[in-house]
Chains A and B, each alone.
Chain A
Amino acid sequence: MTSIEDFMRRLPNDVGGQPSPAFQRVDHELKPWEKRCHALADVLDFHKIISTEEKRRGVEALGTEMIGRLGYYERWLTAFAVILFQKGLLTPTQLAERMAVVESRFRADPAPDPAAA
């Protein structure tokens, strides 16, 4: 079997029995956006806008390099964006424009008084 066949046949997340780095018993407290991402994933699943299975498929479709470089919830958010484009629910331009707006808002007001919200 050629290596290109092996590459095509194994999804990036299918790791059972594969060589791996040393095991480390690591954990971290979720950042607020990570927690929001997890909750958003649940809500998208409840509405069947993006089901859990579509999310898994969308993450696999990011490819080996992006899966390797991105963190767990970073992969989810990237997959959500692409799936929403595919479904015609958002366009790439709409998201890019909104991200620019959000980013400038965060820069202008990096640590606002929560009480003023």
Chain B
Amino acid sequence: MAEQPPESARTLIEVVPALGEVAPLRPGDPVRVVIRFPLGHYRVPLYLRGKTGTVERLVTPAIDNEEEGFGRNAGDRRYYYRIVFPMTEIWTDYAGPPHDNLRIEVFETWLESARHA
């Protein structure tokens, strides 16, 4: 039988988190920006589609801004992640040293794990 964790570390088992409330990604995780092309509104620049980077940090959960752009202002939230991409990953002909990089907040629905790439 499993040992009970200390009181302070226990969570209330009857509480069900909202959709997206638990972040599936952690700092250091390798991720890829999915390739898709929404009509009308998006906040992931085209230059990042299909590019692989690393999670730098989690940003406060927020409403999907593609929906917010059309008037939704409440309801379930997901995380933004600040992602680091080497410049040489984004631009194959980048004119600078390989340690130069770009950092950007990307909404969770745009990211897939690249761990087993």
Minimum CB–CB distance for A52 against chain B, Å: 9
Task: Return the CB mask of B56-96 against A: 1 if under 8 Å, else 0.
Answer: 00000000010011110100000000000000000100000
Pick the interface stretch among B3-11, B14-22, B24-32, B37-45.
B37-45
* A8 pairs with B39, CB closer than 8 A: yes
Q: In the complex, how many residues of chain A place their beta carbon closer than 8 angstroms to a beta carbon of chain B?
A: 16
**B46, CB-defined interface residue at 8 Å:** yes
* A8 pairs with B37, CB closer than 8 A: yes
Which of B's residues lie within 8 Å of A, judged by CB? Answer: 37, 39-42, 45-47, 65, 68-71, 73, 91
Give the A-B pair count, Cβ closer than 8 A.
37
Pick the interface stretch among A11-19, A34-42, A92-100, A103-111.
A11-19
**A17 CA to B42 CA, complexed, in Å:** 17
* B73 pairs with A51, CB closer than 8 A: yes
* B37 pairs with A9, CB closer than 8 A: yes
| Inter-chain contacts of B47 with A (CB < 8 A) | 16-17
**A51 CA to B73 CA, complexed, in Å:** 8
* B40 pairs with A14, CB closer than 8 A: no
| Inter-chain contacts of B42 with A (CB < 8 A) | 11, 14
**A10, CB-defined interface residue at 8 Å:** yes
* A48 pairs with B45, CB closer than 8 A: no
**CB-nearest residue of chain B to A87:** B71
Partner of B41, one of A10, A11, A48, A51: A11
* B71 pairs with A60, CB closer than 8 A: no
Q: Across the A-B interface, give the 4 residue pairs with the lowest CB-CB distance, nearest first.
A: A57-B69, A53-B68, A9-B37, A57-B41
| Inter-chain contacts of A56 with B (CB < 8 A) | 41, 69
**A84, CB-defined interface residue at 8 Å:** no
Interface centre among B40, B68, B69, B70 (most CB of A within 10 A): B69
**A61, CB-defined interface residue at 8 Å:** yes
Minimum CB–CB distance for B98 against chain A, Å: 18
**A51 CA to B70 CA, complexed, in Å:** 9
**A87 CA to B37 CA, complexed, in Å:** 26
| Inter-chain contacts of A8 with B (CB < 8 A) | 37, 39
